[in-house]
Amino acid sequence: MAEFFNALVDPNLTFLRYAFLTGLLASIAFGVMGTYVVVRRISYIAGAIAHCALGGIGAALFLQTRFGWTWASPMLGATLAALAAAVIIGLVTLYAREREDTVIGALWAIGMAVGLLFLAKTSGYVDPMVYLFGNILYISEYDLWVVLALDALVVGVGAFWYNKFLAVCFDEEFARLRGVRVGFYYLVLLCLTSLTVVMLVRVVGIVMVIALLTLPAAVAGQFARRLWHMMALSVLFCMAFTAAGIGLSYGPDLPSGPVIIVVAGAVYLAVTIGARLRKPRLS
């Protein structure tokens, strides 16, 4: 650990500082949106959005190499694909009388398949592993600004519409009866979730998005009595998991994403089992 702290202040290792700072700052958006995802029980939607992001990443890389569209960055592709997935899933759950989970599962797989096909036809070598499992140590100063913007958006919108989001998540039917545009707020929530998911892909990769989005919120939920308490706690837990994950992975040269997830998962299991033992009658 001492080695890690020395590296953190080493002027030659800026990438580590960026990674560390990005992880901490992104935890704000992760904690807030993760709380909504957990209480509204839409973590599988977040998973589908993450996998659709790969479609966007693949398309962007393909366009970059095949047509020389340098502006088509993987992040832009991921963002657009994630937003499109959020809107499609939102509209399907709100209006189409389809089986929701079938549609979500289909999008999940199709997004992934499209991404892999694009990557297969992209000239030059692209390692899908970077996107699937993430690598926070690739993060640049630019990403830091993106994370700050995302935090500002999530906290700003989240604070302004906190009461609306709470009502829509808690009892949608009642909110609708009171004249609240439930569909609109639900779509806003899903779009904020998809922006957050894109950032998560950067930190822990597509495969582990759901874990870092929901585990801190799930741990916080064991202690919180009100929604915003849960958000604040969830932010703190997410910061702790990310920091611990990066710190623990540095010495033995492990990939940071999986270590973050293992730390989060271990704490979640311990807290859940602890809560069971303390109050055996409550489920």
**DSSP-derived 3-state class of residue 122:** coil
Q: Among the candidate windows 46-54, 80-88, 136-144, 225-233, which touches other proteins by CB under 8 A?
A: 225-233
Among 134, 221, 245, 247, binds other proteins (CB under 8 A): 221
**274 makes contact with other proteins (CB under 8 A):** no
Work out how close the CB of 118 gets to other proteins at its nearest, in angstroms, rounded to a whole number. 39
Stretch that binds other proteins, among 57-65, 169-177, 192-200, 202-210 (CB under 8 A): 169-177
The CB-of-161 to other proteins minimum distance in angstroms stands at 5
Q: Which runs of consecutive H residues, i.e. helices, occur in the chain?
A: 2-9, 14-39, 43-67, 74-94, 100-120, 128-133, 141-160, 162-170, 172-177, 182-204, 209-221, 227-250, 256-278
Span near other proteins by CB under 8 A; candidates 21-29, 127-135, 170-178, 273-281? 170-178
Site membership for other proteins, residue 182 (CB under 8 A): no
For other proteins, the binding residue among 63, 81, 230, 267 (CB under 8 A) is: 230
Among 21, 166, 240, 248, binds other proteins (CB under 8 A): 166
Task: Retrieve residue 34's tokens.
Answer: 């993760």
Instruction: State how far the Cα of 219 lies from the Cα of 201, in Å rounded to an integer.
Output: 21
CB-nearer residue toward other proteins: 111 or 158: 158
Of 64-72, 86-94, 220-228, 262-270, which segment contacts other proteins by CB under 8 A?
220-228
Regarding 161 and contact with other proteins (CB under 8 A), the answer is yes
HSE value, Cβ hemisphere, 13 Å, CA-based, for 223: 15
Minimum distance of other proteins from residue 143's CB (angstroms): 30
Listed as own residue / partner, the contacts of 223-230 with beta carbons closer than 8 Å and 24 or more positions apart are 227/35, 227/39, 227/162, 227/166, 228/162, 230/35, 230/39
Q: Report the distance separating Cα 36 and Cα 61, nearest Å.
A: 32
Distances (CA, A) of 125 to 59, 67, 68: 15, 16, 16
Amino acid letter, residue 124? G
**Residue 225 in the binding site for other proteins (CB under 8 A):** yes
Which is closer to other proteins, CB of 17 or CB of 164?
164
Is residue 257 within 8 A of residue 205, CB to CB? The reply is: yes
Residues that bind other proteins (CB under 8 A): 39, 41, 160-161, 163-164, 166-167, 169-180, 221, 224-227, 229-230
